[in-house]
């Protein structure tokens, strides 16, 4: 299976604290690390570790972080032809994680903000070769729209993970095969409290299938075929930073393998759950064998 991921690439600066700080409060961190991240990059690496052939389309700055991030992609076996280098800084994120695995995240877009629709169109060959195209909202919105439109021109399946939460242009909904908000993002997109009613509203806007991640309650999906749910896996969360990205990658890989939606949800839940048991973003993303073993042991 071939997947093109169009999105952000960051270096995450992670601080581990016992609890998240209050406004104006200074806390001492118990641990510190730098980890490759960015929603686009996380989803790309996650999909590759699950067995997909992945092309990453995005931007890096002309700095040490950019060099490190590019080498990381190459080490993971990703196609990096679609990564441009800009003259400024690479994107980065400051992440604070507490003992319960909850987090706060501040993102500086850096080179991610330099991506243009023209650059997206220059990568048409990579999009044309893919089976699925994965999108998020950490690059300019006009680039997200351009990528989705270009993918549908070539008959590709398109998934959008609408994070960070933002209002979407009406035409974008019509290009989407899958939209994967969490409960907060679903409410922001629709103005409706309640997952089923919110999902129905998004279907009316033209999306083919809505998948909502419910955190500790698992996930649910709605399409013209009905409503599907998948139970969560009981784990001790250490860091949920990349769990949503891992879920999205797992979902696409499973669907690309032509698994039924119900099975794809369960697989995606397992990938997300395993990711949350480790600190950091990309270093926490599991290999395919680890996911398969986890699911087998959970069912035993």
- The answer to whether the annotation marks 226 as part of a ligand binding site is no
- The answer to whether the annotation marks 214 as part of a ligand binding site is yes
- The answer to whether the annotation marks 62 as part of a ligand binding site is no
Residues assigned a catalytic role: 245
Determine whether 59 is exposed, middle or buried from the number of CB atoms within 10 Å of its CB (0-12, 13-18, 19+). Answer: buried
The owner of tokens 């351009």 is 146
Burial profile 4-34: b = 16 or more Cβ within 10 angstroms, e = fewer: bbbbbbbbbbbbbbeeeeeeeeeeeeeeeee
C-beta separation of 44 from 5 below 8 A: yes
d(CA 5, CA 208) in angstroms, rounded, equals 20
- The answer to whether the annotation marks 91 as part of a ligand binding site is no
- The answer to whether the annotation marks 7 as part of a ligand binding site is no
- The answer to whether the annotation marks 110 as part of a ligand binding site is no
Q: Strand pairing of 157-160 and 10-16?
A: unpaired
- The answer to whether the annotation marks 223 as part of a ligand binding site is no
Q: Positive or negative CA dihedral for 108, 113, 115, 117?
A: positive
- The answer to whether the annotation marks 221 as part of a ligand binding site is no
- The answer to whether the annotation marks 278 as part of a ligand binding site is yes
d(CA 241, CA 282) in angstroms, rounded, equals 10
Residues contributing to the annotated binding site for K(+): 239, 241, 275, 278, 280, 284
Residues contributing to the annotated binding site: 10-12, 38-42, 138, 182, 213-218, 239, 241, 244-245, 269, 275, 278, 280, 284
Residues contributing to the annotated binding site for ATP: 182, 213-218, 244-245, 269
Residues contributing to the annotated binding site for substrate: 10-12, 38-42, 138, 245
């Amino acid at each position: 299976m071939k997947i093109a991921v169009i999105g952000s690439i960051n270096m995450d600066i992670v601080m581990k604290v016992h609890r998240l700080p209050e406004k104006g409060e200074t806390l001492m961190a118990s641990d510190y690390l730098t980890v490759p991240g960015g929603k686009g990059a996380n989803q790309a690496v996650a999909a590759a570790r699950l067995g997909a052939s992945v092309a990453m389309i995005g931007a890096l700055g002309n700095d040490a972080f950019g060099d490190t991030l590019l080498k990381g992609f190459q080490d993971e076996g990703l196609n990096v032809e679609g990564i441009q280098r800009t003259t400024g800084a690479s994107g980065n994120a400051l992440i604070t994680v507490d003992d319960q695995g909850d987090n706060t995240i501040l993102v500086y877009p850096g080179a991610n903000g330099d991506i243009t629709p023209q650059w997206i169109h220059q990568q048409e060959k990579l999009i044309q070769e893919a089976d699925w195209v994965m999108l998020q909202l950490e690059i300019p919105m006009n680039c997200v729209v351009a990528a989705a439109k270009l993918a549908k021109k070539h008959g590709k399946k398109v998934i959008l993970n609408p994070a960070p939460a933002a209002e979407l242009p009406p035409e974008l909904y019509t290009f989407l095969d899958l939209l994967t908000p969490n409960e907060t993002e679903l409410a922001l997109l629709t103005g409706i409290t309640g997952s089923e009613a919110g999902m129905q509203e998004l279907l009316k806007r033209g999306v083919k299938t809505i998948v909502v991640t419910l955190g500790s309650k698992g996930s649910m999906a709605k399409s013209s075929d009905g409503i599907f749910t998948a139970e969560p896996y009981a784990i001790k969360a250490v860091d949920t930073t990349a769990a949503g990205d891992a879920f999205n990658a797992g979902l696409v890989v499973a669907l690309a393998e032509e698994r039924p939606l119900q099975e794809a949800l369960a697989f995606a839940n397992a990938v997300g759950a395993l990711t949350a048991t480790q600190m950091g973003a990309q270093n926490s993303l599991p290999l395919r064998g680890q996911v398969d073993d986890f699911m087998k042991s959970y069912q035993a």
